Amino acid sequence: MMKILFCLLLAWVPSNANQYQNPIAPSSPDPWMQYYNGFYYLIATSWGSSVGIRKASTLDGLKSVDNTSVYSFDGHSLWAPEIHLVDGKWYLFYSACASDTDPANWGCHRNHVAESASDDPMGPYTFKADLIDPNDENMELDPSYIFINGEQYLMGSYNINGLANLFIRPMANPYTPTGAKRMLSTPTYDWEKEGETINEGPEPLYHDGRIFVVYSASSCSGANYKLGLLEFVGTDPLDSTHWQKYPTPLFQRSEENHVYGPGHNGFFKSPDGTEDWLVYHANDVNTEGCTMARSSRAQKFTWSDDGIPVFGIPEATGVTYESPSGEN
């Protein structure tokens, strides 16, 4: 009888009644999230030698679940892990330092990829390949993966003469490069040069047949870390002149909402596939910089009449919003 009453009560709740507040998880810089087969999967920088994922059926549930280890490696200083589903398996791209390198020297970062045993995002994952460009063995970080006209490309950031550029590199599959990396974007505007001259964290965004890359600009150590936008407007993804950079930032600090240094984002769809959502990290005060104090936040975004993503301003923490459409 109790059970029947409970079901009747539930039937009165509108199906979209779920709510959430930011942050969605504490201590989770460089967040990346996917919604897959009924669950959200959130993965982030740990600075360690293992990778954890939070799995929950609701956005609001992520903060109360364990961050479960899915992969360990011989090395240290894990940054910016992402999982991408390619040909039925998940690939975990990450940057980290080899065990014989000095943790105080950030220049030790290189990109790598691990492979899941099945189509379960929780893995387990096993090491698959180093993704270092043999023509340039300097620092590489923030690996991501993009599909353009049926071809696959690795993206990331690399350090050259004290500044960070974005790169793009052709791949046969997530673990087999077919050529050298090419420059995708270099900082040009003043808003990309605050604190340090940096383009990093490139993330693919597809909409209505158009291909965008959203990236992070300036130094994460200041409050002016932010997001910028590139669009593929030509025929050759490996030629940076075939990409257009938008002249103004897409997303940046909000004094009003006490959100500082919002950036290094990812994208995910609502459970019913109708909404586009942004996941990103930010600080509550403008002095926390690139530390593990950065928490991850989610917010819905829209598109302009011209087909450009509109992220708005970073929402304040502790405010209740409606959860992604289609959550149970």
Ligand X SMILES: *[C@@H]1O[C@H](CO)[C@@H](O)[C@H](O)[C@H]1NC(C)=O
Active site residues: 30, 200
DSSP letter string over 27-78? Answer: S--S-EEEEETTEEEEE---SSSEEEEEEESSTGGGGGS-EEEEEE-SEEEE
Complex with ligand X: residue 61 or 187, whichever CB lies closer: 61
Residues in the chain: 328
Non-local CB neighbours of 118 within 8 Å, separated by 6+ positions: 89
Comparing CB distances to ligand X, the nearer of 33 and 250 is 33
Q: Quick check: 283 binds ligand X (CB under 6 A)?
A: no
Contact 229, 308 (CB under 8 A): yes
Closer Cβ to ligand X, 74 or 239, answer by number: 74
- Given the rule CB under 6 A, which of 46-54, 247-255, 257-265, 274-282 is the region that contacts ligand X? 46-54
How many other β-carbons are positioned within 10 Å of the β-carbon of residue 118? Answer: 11
Residue 190 φ/ψ, nearest 5 degrees = -55, -35
Give the binding range for ligand X (CB under 6 A) out of 49-57, 171-179, 181-189, 315-323.
49-57
Name the token pair of 89: 């398996």
Q: How far is the CB of 48 from ligand X (least distance, A)?
A: 4
Looking at the Cβ atoms of 43 and 230, the one nearer to ligand X is 43
Tell which one of 52, 187, 262, 266 touches ligand X (CB under 6 A): 52
Phi/psi of residue 10, nearest 5 degrees: -60, -35
Q: Which stretch binds ligand X (CB under 6 A): 12-20, 44-52, 119-127, 243-251?
A: 44-52
Instruction: Using the minimum distance from each CB to ligand X, give the nearer residue, 42 or 108.
Output: 42
Give the whole-angstrom CA distance, residue 174 versus residue 93. 9
3-state secondary structure of 42: strand
Q: Which is nearer to ligand X, 50 or 320 (CB)?
A: 50
The nearest distance, CB 122 to ligand X, in angstroms, is 12
Provide the minimum distance between the beta carbon of 290 and ligand X in the complex, in angstroms, as a whole number: 15
Using the minimum distance from each CB to ligand X, give the nearer residue, 51 or 83. Answer: 51
Q: Is 124 in the site for ligand X (CB under 6 A)?
A: no
Nearest-approach distance from CB 56 to ligand X, in angstroms? 14
Helices (H) then strands (E): counts for the chain: 1, 23
Joined together, the tokens standing for residue 27 give: 């201590």
For residue 51, the minimal CB distance to ligand X (Å) is 6
Q: Which ranges of the chain does DSSP label H, i.e. alpha helix? A: 2-12
Residues 171 and 87 sit within 8 Å (Cβ to Cβ): no
Which residue has the CB atom at the shortest distance from ligand X? 52
Which helix (H) or strand (E) element contains residue 214?
Answer: strand 210-217
- Please give the single-letter amino acid code of residue 131: L
Site size with ligand X, rule: CB under 6 A: 8
Q: Please, what is the minimum distance in Å from the beta carbon of residue 50 to ligand X? A: 4
Pair 238, 182: CB distance under 8 Å: yes
| Site residues (CB under 6 A) for ligand X, limited to 10-29 | 27
Give dist(CA 47, CA 49) in Å, integer: 7
Least separation in angstroms between residue 52's CB and ligand X is 2
56 to 95: interface string for ligand X, x by CB under 6 A: -----------x-x--------------------------
| One of 18, 34, 46, 218 touching ligand X (CB under 6 A) | 46
- The contact set with ligand X (CB under 6 A) reads 27, 46, 48, 50-52, 67, 69
